[in-house]
Structure 1
């Protein structure tokens, strides 16, 4: 599985109840309209408009 990284475009609340502000770096898993984001082990269910990829997918890293 390739690793993707992104940045939040809007504040998002994680499963722990912590609110992460715009600009927070996240690890991303999945594709499509919704993906899983992670910050220090906290899960953030993300919609496509809540984050931006900070590095393009690289098939050679899969």
Structure 2
């Protein structure tokens, strides 16, 4: 299944969106610190990405999160 895309504000380029899990506690823009294990929505790619928890922005470095693997089998894949 392809990752959903979101159009950037202002009509910018499409950005892939995926799920991740925090590996360390990370403070959000709101001042709330999210503990390791919190699921986040990740946008972008590279050494730093934007992540969100209920609309709260968390700028993340590559080592602060792990991608969540898709556990739903693709149609037609071996089970």
Q: Identify whether the pair has TM-score above 0.5, normalized to the shorter chain.
A: yes
Q: Which runs of 5+ in 1 are unaligned?
A: 57-62
Say yes or no: does 1:51 pair with 2:65: yes
- The answer to which structure, 1 or 2, has the higher relative contact order (CA under 8 A, 6+ apart) is 1
Q: Note the aligned Cα RMSD (angstroms).
A: 1.0
Pick from 13, 23, 30: which aligns with 2:27? 13
Q: Which of the pair has more CA radius of gyration? A: 2
Q: Which runs of 4+ in 1 moved over 6 A?
A: none
Q: How many residues were matched structurally?
A: 56
1:59 aligns with none
| Length-normalised TM-score, structure 1 | 0.86
Q: Which sections of structure 2, spanning at least 5 residues, go unmatched?
A: 6-15, 71-79
